[in-house]
Amino acid sequence: MKPENVVDETLQRAILAEAPAPGERLRKQLEASLPEETTPAFMHYPLAAWVENTFGLDEEDGRLVRRKPIKFGEGVERLISDSGLPQHVCSTRLRDVLEMGNRLPGFGQPLFPFRLHQFLAAGGTVYATMESGKRYLTLEGQHYAPVQGGEMLLYPLVFCRDCG
């Protein structure tokens, strides 16, 4: 496949605050009250930036990319390790931040939209032909579909990162 034929996404941060560094700054954020439940207040909330960095975004070659999904428990363990606070404090605050970010509107969707595929393992790959109308579908990994009138190439289908 030619590089110019690859469609890639451009990501942007939802949170404008700087994420608190491990240690005292992070600990203070976890012990402080949540911000007012408004989009502007949340977008300037340092703990929301920590969550966005830990669960959502990473940088590669100077551009934002999606971070490999982690489980909620892994995020809690990072908070415990980085803050020194007990599990119940970290778990409760992380849940509160994720829930608030899921309620507040962002760029045409919640600031922190929950993605089901982050919590459930993906199934196998589905392969399909690309003709319009009725397509040949299969779960069997192969290069060609046995269709009337000859063989057609099969392509793996992937889920949209926006709508799932």
Per-residue model confidence as pLDDT tens digits over 20-51: 999 999 999 999 999 999 999 999 999 999 99
Per-residue model confidence as pLDDT tens digits over 47-103: 999 999 999 899 998 888 888 888 899 999 999 999 999 999 999 999 999 999 999
1-10 mean pLDDT: 74
Q: Looking at the structure, do residues 110 and 131 belong to the same domain, yes or no? A: no
Beta strands (DSSP E) in the chain are 57-60, 63-66, 127-128, 137-138, 144-147, 150-153, 155-156
Q: Looking at the structure, do residues 88 and 45 belong to the same domain, yes or no? A: yes
Distance CA 111, CA 114 (A): 9
99-122 mean pLDDT: 72
The encoded tokens of residue 81 equal 């390790």
Q: Looking at the structure, do residues 10 and 73 belong to the same domain, yes or no? A: yes
Domain assignment of residue 76, given as a range? 3-115
The answer to whether 161 touches 66, Cβ cutoff 8 Å, is yes
**pLDDT tops 50 at residue 1:** yes
111-140 mean pLDDT: 71
C-alpha radius of gyration, the chain, whole number: 21
Q: Looking at the structure, do residues 108 and 140 belong to the same domain, yes or no? A: no
Q: Looking at the structure, do residues 131 and 108 belong to the same domain, yes or no? A: no
Q: Looking at the structure, do residues 157 and 79 belong to the same domain, yes or no? A: no
133-153 mean pLDDT: 80
Q: Looking at the structure, do residues 75 and 132 belong to the same domain, yes or no? A: no
Q: Look at the chain and report how many structural domains it folds into.
A: 2
Q: Looking at the structure, do residues 100 and 160 belong to the same domain, yes or no? A: no
pLDDT at 116: 45
pLDDT at 155: 86
Q: Looking at the structure, do residues 78 and 140 belong to the same domain, yes or no? A: no
Q: Looking at the structure, do residues 109 and 126 belong to the same domain, yes or no? A: no
pLDDT at 139: 83
> What's this model's pTM, rounded to 2 decimal places?
0.68
Q: Looking at the structure, do residues 73 and 133 belong to the same domain, yes or no? A: no
